[in-house]
């Protein structure tokens, strides 16, 4: 009965996509891919929004996320950026690297699934310098993790590309690892990145299936992806990744921020809770049990440690819905600046984000127009719609997604 019902939903959704595309007159949707869009939509949906399609096998369930974060002292660092970073300082974290030669390459960006829930906990996110999170339709979200100052050999589960991915990859002079994409989206990515798009699990060990042959069984290796790109002729050198700034000293003027909740739908809550002892924000995620949604620590399956980030930044951008699971996002050419809220050290700051150049990192500015200095360390960026709702009450911040 489930299979029949799911197939009916795919047909109905496919028909809806055809009608939407025909009415809108937008040429970027390939009508022959309507059934593919429908299947992708159902596969990505949170369970409380829609039934998941059955997978081929469920023999290897992901481990349960129960670990906590163990704080380790950061090395003493000096303020750095937004330009003239020392040779041994990662310009995307403000941290000193053990071997400066690791920075003589392009960053690796890898697509990581957040749905279905059976693919959690994720692998390798705690090793990323930056992680970007954005809406993919039907209440779901997806990540793209950036590796530059260090590598991870098991990143994933790796999923398909979206229209925003080449924009982000270009901003950081990067290489994109993904597992397929709709034909029109793949063409869009290839047009921008050319041979810096790597999209085949046959290219193991860069992208490998762990043997289960499921949508959650492909994982990436950032160092191997670097090697694959080099063999393709992608130039590996140190690029001018300037624009961000870091300072261990806490800026003045912040508002209390002990909890950050981001909701792409009512059944898809994500939370960051400030841990005063470590000075990091710790990630919590939903664990659906029946009709209830419980929040549990989100760990990295490599380390069994809860995800901990020095900075959490929420930026607001225009989303253009081409189809229910296909969105374009205005990330490039943001010269004048749009609103953002940055969280560090238990405080929130209302700032502005800009992208004055298509191959330069996103830049952050305070209310006086000065470059905002992040806390040295890793940064998680959430891309919310421009009309998303924001509330702040006694240190508890909530962002509810709305388009455009």
Q: What is the pLDDT of residue 73?
A: 67
Global pTM reads 0.85
Say whether pLDDT at 33 is over 70.
no
Assess contact for 52 and 41: CB atoms under 8 A. no
Question: What does the alpha-carbon distance between residue 170 and residue 172 come to, in Å, rounded to a whole number?
Answer: 5
Give me the pLDDT at residue 2, please.
Answer: 36
Rounded Cα distance between 271 and 162, Å, is 24
Please compute the mean of the pLDDT values over residues 360-368 and round it to a whole number: 97
pLDDT at 59: 33
What is the C-alpha separation between 255 and 11, in angstroms, rounded? 49
The mean pLDDT value of the chain amounts to 86
CA 206, CA 110: separation in Å to the nearest integer? 11
Domain coordinates in residue numbering, the chain: 2-44, 100-231, 255-400
Strand partners, 308: 282
Alpha helical stretches, state H, 173-321: 183-193, 222-231
Phi, psi (rounded to 5 degrees) for 144: -135, 120
CATH superfamily to which 255-400 belongs: YerB-like (3.50.90.10)
Fold of the 100-231 domain: YerB-like fold (3.50.90)
Per-residue model confidence (pLDDT) at position 200: 81
Q: What is the mean pLDDT of residues 50-59?
A: 32
Same fold, 100-231 and 255-400: yes
| Torsion, Cα of 351, 353, 330, 186 (10° steps) | -130
Please tell me whether the peptide bond between 157 and the residue prior to it is cis, using omega within 30 degrees of 0.
yes
Encode pLDDT of 333-359 as tens digits.
999 999 999 999 999 999 999 999 999
| Residues in Cβ contact with 138 at an 8 Å cutoff, skipping those fewer than 6 apart | 41, 44, 45, 49, 50, 265, 324, 325
pLDDT above 50: residue 39: no
Q: Would you say 236 and 331 are in contact if contact means Cβ atoms under 8 Å apart?
A: no
């Amino acid at each position: 009965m489930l299979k029949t019902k799911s197939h009916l939903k795919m047909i109905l959704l496919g028909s809806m996509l055809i009608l939407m595309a025909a009415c809108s007159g937008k040429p970027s949707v390939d009508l022959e891919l309507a059934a593919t869009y429908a299947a992708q939509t159902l596969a990505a949906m949170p369970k409380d929004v829609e039934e998941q399609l059955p997978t081929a096998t469920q023999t290897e369930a992901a481990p349960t996320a129960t670990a906590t974060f163990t704080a380790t002292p950061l090395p003493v660092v000096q303020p750095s950026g937004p330009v003239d970073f020392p040779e041994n300082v990662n310009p995307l974290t403000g941290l000193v690297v053990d071997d400066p030669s690791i920075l003589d390459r392009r960053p690796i960006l890898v697509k990581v699934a957040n749905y279905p829930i059976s693919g959690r906990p994720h692998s390798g996110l705690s090793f990323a310098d930056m992680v970007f999170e954005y809406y993919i339709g039907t209440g779901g979200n997806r990540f793209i993790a950036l590796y530059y100052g260090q590598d991870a050999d098991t990143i994933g589960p790796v999923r398909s590309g979206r229209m925003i991915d080449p924009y982000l990859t270009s901003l950081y002079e990067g290489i994109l690892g993904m597992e397929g994409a709709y034909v029109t989206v793949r063409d869009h990515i290839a047009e921008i990145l050319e041979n810096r798009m790597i999209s085949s699990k046959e290219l193991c060990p860069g992208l490998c299936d762990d043997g289960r042959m499921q949508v959650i069984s492909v994982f990436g290796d950032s160092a191997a992806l670097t090697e694959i790109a080099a063999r393709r002729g992608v130039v590996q050198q140190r690029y001018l990744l300037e624009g961000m700034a870091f300072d261990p000293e806490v800026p003045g003027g912040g508002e209390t921020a002990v909890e950050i909740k981001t909701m792409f739908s009512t059944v898809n809550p994500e939370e960051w809770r400030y841990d005063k002892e470590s000075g990091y924000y710790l990630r919590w995620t939903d664990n659906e049990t029946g009709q209830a949604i419980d929040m549990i620590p989100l760990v990295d399956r490599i380390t069994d440690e809860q995800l901990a980030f020095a900075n959490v930044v929420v930026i607001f951008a225009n989303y253009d819905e081409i189809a229910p699971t296909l969105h374009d996002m205005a990330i490039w050419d943001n010269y004048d600046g749009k609103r953002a809220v940055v969280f560090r050290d238990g405080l929130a700051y209302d700032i502005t984000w800009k992208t004055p150049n298509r191959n330069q990192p996103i830049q952050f500015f305070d209310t006086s127009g000065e470059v905002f200095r992040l806390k040295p360390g890793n940064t998680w960026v959430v891309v919310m719609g421009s009309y998303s709702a924001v509330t702040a009450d006694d240190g508890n911040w909530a962002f509810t997604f709305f388009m455009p």
